[in-house]
Chains A and B, each alone.
Chain A
Amino acid sequence: MASVRLESVVKKFGKVIAVNNVSLEVKDGEFFILLGPSGCGKTTTLRLIAGLEYPDSGRIYIDDKDVTFLEPKDRDVAMVFQNYALYPHMTVFQNIAFPLLLKRKKLGLTKEDIKKRVLEVARLLRIEELLHRKPGQLSGGQQQRVALARALIRRPKVWLMDEPLSNLDALLRLAMRAELKRLQKELGITTIYVTHDQAEALSMADRIAVMNKGKVIQVGTPDEVYLKPKHVFVGTFIGAPPMNVIECRIEEQDGKYLLQCPGFTREIPQEIMASKLVKTKEIILGIRPEFIEVIESPAPDTIKGKILVVEPLGSETILNININPENEETIIKVKLPKITKKFRPGETVFLKIDWSKVSIFDKTTGFLLE
């Protein structure tokens, strides 16, 4: 077990800056997830920690030991790859035992010791029956377990995982999510996990670092990044459906501040009134789809809209509502927890926003105005 620290790490590939001044601290025993879209630098960050790449500047520490330019084998980390990287010519047993066999003399292990440890790990991951098979004879889920077993056998300080569930089918992925979380908690190994799947990140992580274009945008618990996104990117990347964003202007009129948005204009609600806010002219309103109430008849403090699409999802329903008659593309998505009433496309409804849960971002920087 160990802590991992990155200090101002930069990695370039030619002219492309893959990792741009990233600083992170992963605590001992933590399940830490790097989340972001393709090409955001999350995998490169993981490879830098593994030692498969070396940074152009910055330092990397594992347990306060500077490992920035150490070889992967001297870092005491283990990695699970997206394609599992199981050696096709070896049996499952040989694959799992491989890391120990390489260091047999150094660790002073006998063949019996190795066998015992392989069986132990195999039992933990429920793959004892597969030990004599070759990887080619295993299903995706089984291969995944073997890859996990191989990463566990050495009892590494840090467990690195590069989208290990992305090659599994949807149902198996759900099952493995829970299993992986259980395993990590049971063993208490510091884990850094890369994914582009926000649901995976929210469900598994102790803390999440959201990355975009090589930079870390926000680090926080799943609740923090979901409810208090620091940047409009985080709000729109996390959540299904993502946060609604509406570009608005702030105008001063007779000593009052007005919020002018496409489709509606109103006085700035007390809940979001702030000195920083009134100094900014151009803002972005971020509203989660579940913090909007849909009312059928006109009421004060509501926005008129027309339902365009109804998406029933079983346990919830998503409504796509147009709030600007001049522009068909000004759409707000609303998530209704249960099917309380059957809404139909074309119906006129009124939206009541819970202003206490609205995030306001600076339009020019994209960052939250607090």
Chain B
Amino acid sequence: MSTEIKIKKRYLAMFLIPGFILVAIFVIGPIIGTFIISFETPNGFGLSNYYDVITETSPTKALVLLNDMPRPPPWGALIHNLVWTAIHLPATTFLGLLLAYLLRRVYGRSIVKSIMFIGMVIPMVVGGLIIRFMFDKYIGIVPNLCGLIGLTGLDKTWTSYPDTALIALIIGSIWLWTGFSLTIHAAAIDSLPKTYIEAAKIDGASDWQIFWKIIVPSVRAATLTVIVMTMLWDLKIFDIVYAATKGGPGGASTVLAFVMWLYFALDLAYGKAAAVAVILTLLTLIPAAIYIRQVMKRG
């Protein structure tokens, strides 16, 4: 290696150090701190915090509660997060992609896109409140629509009943988050050469065939970004739950981040809160790892 390159590397390190120090103090430090706290027990260091939070059976704080199935929630915060992801992730990803494709030809599409994007811009706490109103028996659009089409069982305040609270939050979060998928996918579709679609049209493809055979595979990179970001969002979800249901009724809509908050703010059980936080962090590392690998591959 020549001296010139060596000097350059030294300079490079100098430029990186200030940023690294900030990240170390404000990101890496707290993570390590949380990790250490999660092992702190009244009798020294151990795994009892983890044992306690995993085996917890109170519906409001349990992570997994799958006895006497099938039955309506509560199923435990971890299961709620997984159910949330299982419904919300494919729904927003696909809806956003489909809308981005359909809106391509609509006059005034940028206005529609902006409106859809509002869901992402407003504070999630406000989003949670809106969800509560949307599913209210008297003023909410969803129960009223259900009543109109004769679904009398759903003509109620969804967030007040264990069997509908979780699904109300999930549907509401689809409404809030689809703008993200729409925006990313619309940008990806706009950047495709127009001739891809035109060539397919001349070759005899229907709109549906163009969507599946040309658009979906061509915007794969954007879809991966949407999937990973949505998974992270689903796992970290807190504000909506806090504002709309407080995890209730009876823990029927609680999630990991909310349980962590309960341990931390109500029980003042910092060790247990840290244990839930570590579990949550480990879970979020899965999509993050997938994403980083893809980015490295592309880079």
Give me the interface of A with B, judged by CB distance under 8 Å. 50-52, 71-73, 77-79, 81-83, 85, 87-89, 98-99, 102-103, 150, 154
Contact = CB atoms under 8 A, between A and B. Distances in A.
Contacts of B205: 73, 102
Interface stretch (B74-82, B133-141, B152-160, B196-204): B196-204
A72 B201 contact: yes
30 contacts: A51-B202, A52-B198, A52-B202, A71-B201, A72-B201, A72-B202, A73-B201, A73-B202, A73-B203, A77-B202, A78-B202, A78-B203, A79-B199, A79-B202, A81-B195, A81-B198, A81-B199, A82-B195, A83-B193, A85-B198, A87-B218, A89-B218, A89-B220, A98-B200, A98-B213, A99-B203, A102-B203, A102-B205, A150-B199, A150-B203
Contacts of A88: 218
Given A73-B202, A87-B214, 4 more contacts: A51-B202, A85-B199, A99-B204, A102-B205
B226 to A, nearest CB: 18
A102 B213 CA distance: 10
Interface residues of B, number: 18
Determine the main DSSP class of B at the interface with A.
helix
Interface string B214-253: 1001101000000000000000000000000000000000
B110 interface: no
A60 to B, nearest CB: 15
Contacts of A81: 195, 198-199
Contacts of A52: 198, 201-202
B133 to A, nearest CB: 44
Contacts of A78: 202-203
B209 interface: yes
A269 B193 CA distance: 57
Contacts of A73: 201-206
Contacts of B203: 73, 78, 98-99, 102, 150, 154
A103 B204 contact: yes
Contacts of A82: 195
A274 B214 CA distance: 62
A258 B195 CA distance: 57
Contacts of B195: 81-83, 85
